[in-house]
Structures are given as structure tokens and as C-alpha cells.
Amino acid sequence: MGRDFSYIARNCERAVITAYGELRSRGSADMDAFQACTTIYRIHHPEASLNEARRLVAEWVDHHLVRHANGPTPGCACA
């Protein structure tokens, strides 16, 4: 993977993006990595619904790994 995501302020977002990238770079299928990252998000936020977790993970993966954007993203209010 090799990308530095230290600029991401939210711990949960950074954990999700790092894990997704690492899983994919080691040969995990897209859906397997996505499901693992949804679980990671829900560990950080047990109050979140499965649908909310899926939506945020999808938005974060698209933002950081598909579009390679560095700006702020929608998401939770945690730091």
C-alpha cells in the first residue's frame, strides 16, 4: 500500500482506510475487505447501524482510495 493517511483526523476513518488498503494489497477480494472494514467501523462505533457503517466505509474508500482526495469527508463526529 505505502500511502500515508496520517492526515485523516478521525481514528475510525484512518483505521478503515488503512485496513482496506492493506487487505486489498495482500490479495483480499473487494467485498471481503469491505466487510472487514465495516466491522472495524462498528467496533469503533457500536451504536452505528450496519447500513450507516456500510455507507461511510463506501464513501471513505471512494474518497481516499479511488479518487485519491485529501480533503474532508462526511462521517461521524468523533476525532
Structural domain contains residue 61: yes
| Residue 2 confidence class, pLDDT cut points 50, 70, 90 | low
15 Cβ partners below 8 Å, 6+ apart? 40, 44
Count of domains for the chain = 1
Structural domain contains residue 79: no
Q: Which of these, 63, 40, 38, lies nearest to 53 by C-alpha position? A: 38
User: How far is residue 36's CA from residue 38's CA, in Å, rounded to a whole number?
Assistant: 5
User: How far is residue 6's CA from residue 38's CA, in Å, rounded to a whole number?
Assistant: 20
Structural domain contains residue 58: yes
Q: Does pTM surpass 0.85?
A: yes
**Domain extent at residue 36:** 11-66
Structural domain contains residue 25: yes
Structural domain contains residue 42: yes
Structural domain contains residue 47: yes
Looking at this protein, which amino acid is placed at residue 44?
H
Q: Are 59 and 34 in contact (CB under 8 A)?
A: no
Looking at this protein, which amino acid is placed at residue 40?
I
Structural domain contains residue 3: no
Residues 16-74: tens digit of each pLDDT: 999 999 999 999 999 999 999 999 999 999 999 999 999 999 999 999 999 999 888 88
Structural domain contains residue 5: no
